[in-house]
Structure 1
Amino acid sequence: MLSLTYLLYFGQLGILTPYLGIFLDGRGFSSADIGTLFALITLTRIIGPSLWAGVADKHGNPLQVMQLGSLLTVVLFAGVFFVQGFWWLTLVFALMMMFWTAVLPQLEVITLQHLKPTSVSYGKIRLWGSVGFIVFAVIVGQSIDVFGSETPIYVSTAVLALLFIATLYITPVDTPQQHDDVSGSWTLALKKPFVVFIVSSLLLQMSFGTFYGFFALYMRDLGYDGTQTGLLIALGVLAEVGIFLVASRIIIRFGVRLTLFISLALTAIRWWALGFAGELWLVVIVTQLLHALSFGLTHATSVHFIHHFFPHKFQSRGQAIYISLTFGIGGAVGHFLSGQLWQDGAGAELAFGMAGAFAMAGALLLFLAPKKAFG
């Protein structure tokens, strides 16, 4: 049941991450509206992870928190069928995202609790999440060609409902209740190595705003159909899965600082190539393969760094700080600025150029940081 839950959770991401822009465009929103809406709903990732981590920590029952989050997510998401207009849809998506942030952190905790007394590896369970992302990204991409821009919303509602049902069949595991020292975790977070790491990670997520918000629309404008777009998205996730299998060896061989520097520098090249030569299918394929570094290797390296930088009792708070600041603030700023520059496709080169500049700035920050700071 854990594998199915991962499949449905990341399957939902495979629907909304690439295709929410298509849905909003179909509803008549401008690119500035789309970027602003993405930015506003992304802001919930600033407070959501820490809020739900505190609730789960206080009550000692992550499974109930996950079930509540799943239920309220699907209930609120269904509101998209009943509202129109920018601010109403923004409110619905923002509230949905607030409860959505309760799901994955608790799922990770529950999964590790279940696997601890067994010989089953975490990777074998987490792999089903990538499978779900690929399957739904391809299916919805094809379906949009046939059924139109409202397709992602109908499929998302069904997937979210199934996700809630799946959580009801997960058995709880009794574990001792732990309480993190929040002030202690922030004391560590203000140290120079972590500040450099966070700022570079924030710049990376700012660079992703253009891709997450407008990639599917960009592909459509360049003449790629929904099936081709879905396959390109799936290719990026496959590359991500492949790098996860060897990430630990790469990190040990090159270290955190150099691994992140190379990944961010190549991410900058990825965005520039996509923005200035996206009409060439071979260029798009190569840029999607670079997703292995842009997301897969940077995420694995970030988790590794936080795990070794924070003592055991502060690690969950360290992860919450990382997610809130980088994916929350960085994602919101990146989405907003991309929406202002996109101009319904006319500013695509400028938007991807900006994204590349953000990623390169993060790479340069890491390059100039003292090597000993990262161990």
Structure 2
Amino acid sequence: MAVSSSRFAIIALSLAYALYFGQLGVITPYLGVFLDGRGFTSVEIGELFAVITLARIIGPSLWAGVADRTGKILFILRLGSGLTVLSFIGVFWAYSFWYLTLVMGLMMMFWTAVLPQLEVLTLQTIEGDSKRYGRIRLWGSIGFIVLTVLVGQALDFFSTDAPIYASMLVLIGLFISSLTLTQPQNLKPKAAVAVRIMPFLRDKVALLFLLSNALLQLSFGAYYGFFALYMRDLGYSGMQTGLLIALGVTVEVGIFLVAQRLISRFGVWRLMVFCLLATGLRWLVLGTLADMFWLVFFSQFIHALSFGLNHSTSMHFIHHYFPTQIHGRIQAAYISLAFGLGGAVGNYAAGLMWQQGAGSMLTFSAAGACAAAGGLVLLLITPQQMDKRQ
């Protein structure tokens, strides 16, 4: 076996995934708690989340372009993770809104360099072995779950600054782990692809697919920005909040294992409509009945549909509906428009409506309406139109 696919290389990649997604398990649920502890209003929290999310529009394409043209995948990964650490240090002294926004925006811009390059390194190292990829990628979910629970518990004993101390340690660990990775020798710069994607994006089915996903991610603004704060205000402990978030990720991992069978049986259109409408119900439950723990508990199972199954179905649609040579750019458009633009608008709108918790019911109800609207948008096309090129 080549050095690049040795046991050490697999362990190093698994550790990098665990730390990368472990950082998401810290910053995504608990950034709002940290910002609230620093005295920021819900409007400012929403605005800051929006700025961070917008970096997902610019960053991935920028770094991917450099990586494709130079072939220096590992160097860009290390550079991104190192600059993320350096920029994140500023958070410890960032008490003004604009300074913290600048620091977090820069951090996220550098952060977007890491995962795409890590994915390329992994796939090249294991030579496309999907089973080994699944085992390596699983450590990302484990890292997310473990860090989410640990930081949730830390909030029960320490100040609201606990998430940024945890993030700093994880980011340093990720940079150190990147130094143990090796770049396979078969990675070379890619030639530019001449096929234009705009004619494909003007297609009615493609437009409605992107719009429905943008509405779904818009609906997530309330959850990503304010769920942990919401649970705290309702009297839930940090440990309970961490376990609830971890539950959502755990069932998400489970749905990935059966997603392909569900897609084969029910098709893209039916599953996407079902996922979007179920997500609308999830937000409605959170907005009106969150004081009942068992309802919040069971609503977290819908995360398997809200993200896991919907994302798997979306990837399947992109892979089968569009020509092979533009899959990468279509996926980038999907991430930028849905997760980037849709997520940013959702974060900003949630911040305007939240009103330090007084508008929680309105915010989650609006989120539910957006998710449901995403499902209804797909009624403008037929199941056969979404599946016709598979």
TM-score, length-scaled by structure 2: 0.94
Paired residues for 1:62-73 under 5 Å:
62-73=73-84
Alignment size in residue pairs:
375
1:76 corresponds in structure 2 to 87
Question: Is residue 34–residue 213 contact of structure 1 (8 Å, CA) maintained in 2?
Answer: yes
Q: Offset at 1:189? A: 2.3
Are 2:97 and 1:56 aligned? no
Structure 1, 40-49 or 339-348: larger mean CA deviation = 40-49
Q: Among 230, 250, 255, which residue is 2:242 paired with?
A: 230
Q: Among 132, 138, 154, which residue is 1:121 paired with?
A: 132
Paired residues for 1:12-51 under 5 Å:
12-51=23-62
Q: Among 293, 297, 311, which residue is 1:285 paired with?
A: 297
Residue 167 of structure 1 aligns to which amino acid in structure 2?
S
Q: Offset at 1:183? A: 5.6
Counterparts of 1:214 and 1:179, CA distance in 2: 43
Question: Is residue 208–residue 355 contact of structure 1 (8 Å, CA) maintained in 2?
Answer: yes
Residue 85 of structure 1 aligns to which amino acid in structure 2?
S
The 1:52/1:209 distance shift into structure 2, 3 A limit, reads: same
Counterparts of 1:182 and 1:233, CA distance in 2: 43
Q: Offset at 1:299? A: 1.0
2:8 corresponds in structure 1 to none
Structure 1, 257-266 or 181-190: larger mean CA deviation = 181-190
Question: Is residue 35–residue 45 contact of structure 2 (8 Å, CA) maintained in 1?
Answer: yes
Q: Among 171, 182, 189, which residue is 2:182 paired with?
A: 171
Residue 126 of structure 2 aligns to which amino acid in structure 1?
L
The 1:117/1:278 distance shift into structure 2, 3 A limit, reads: closer
2:263 corresponds in structure 1 to 251
Q: Offset at 1:178? A: 2.0
Q: Among 103, 110, 135, which residue is 1:99 paired with?
A: 110
Report the identity percentage: 57
Unaligned runs of 5+ in 1: none
2:280 corresponds in structure 1 to 268
Q: Offset at 1:373? A: 2.0
The 1:272/1:373 distance shift into structure 2, 3 A limit, reads: same
Q: Offset at 1:118? A: 5.3
Counterparts of 1:121 and 1:204, CA distance in 2: 31
1:11 corresponds in structure 2 to 22
- The alignment's C-alpha RMSD in Å is 1.3
Residue 276 of structure 1 aligns to which amino acid in structure 2?
T
Residue 266 of structure 2 aligns to which amino acid in structure 1?
F
Paired residues for 1:138-177 under 5 Å:
138-173=149-184, 174-177=186-189
TM-score, length-scaled by structure 1: 0.97
Q: Offset at 1:132? A: 0.3
Question: Is residue 70–residue 103 contact of structure 1 (8 Å, CA) maintained in 2?
Answer: yes
Counterparts of 2:292 and 2:258, CA distance in 1: 30
2:119 corresponds in structure 1 to 108
2:352 corresponds in structure 1 to 340
Counterparts of 1:209 and 1:292, CA distance in 2: 17
The 1:370/1:222 distance shift into structure 2, 3 A limit, reads: same
Counterparts of 1:310 and 1:179, CA distance in 2: 20
Residue 66 of structure 1 aligns to which amino acid in structure 2?
L
Q: Offset at 1:192? A: 1.8
Q: Among 327, 338, 350, which residue is 1:315 paired with?
A: 327
Question: Is residue 3–residue 128 contact of structure 1 (8 Å, CA) maintained in 2?
Answer: yes
Q: Offset at 1:180? A: 4.3
Counterparts of 2:110 and 2:55, CA distance in 1: 9
Question: Is residue 123–residue 129 contact of structure 2 (8 Å, CA) maintained in 1?
Answer: no
Residue 269 of structure 1 aligns to which amino acid in structure 2?
L
Residue 364 of structure 1 aligns to which amino acid in structure 2?
L
Counterparts of 1:119 and 1:290, CA distance in 2: 26
Provide, for residues 110-135 of structure 1, a one-character-per-residue CA deviation record: whole Å limited to 9, x for no partner: 11111116574321111101000000
Provide, for residues 6-52 of structure 1, a one-character-per-residue CA deviation record: whole Å limited to 9, x for no partner: 10000000000000000000000011110111111211111111111
Unaligned runs of 5+ in 2: 1-11
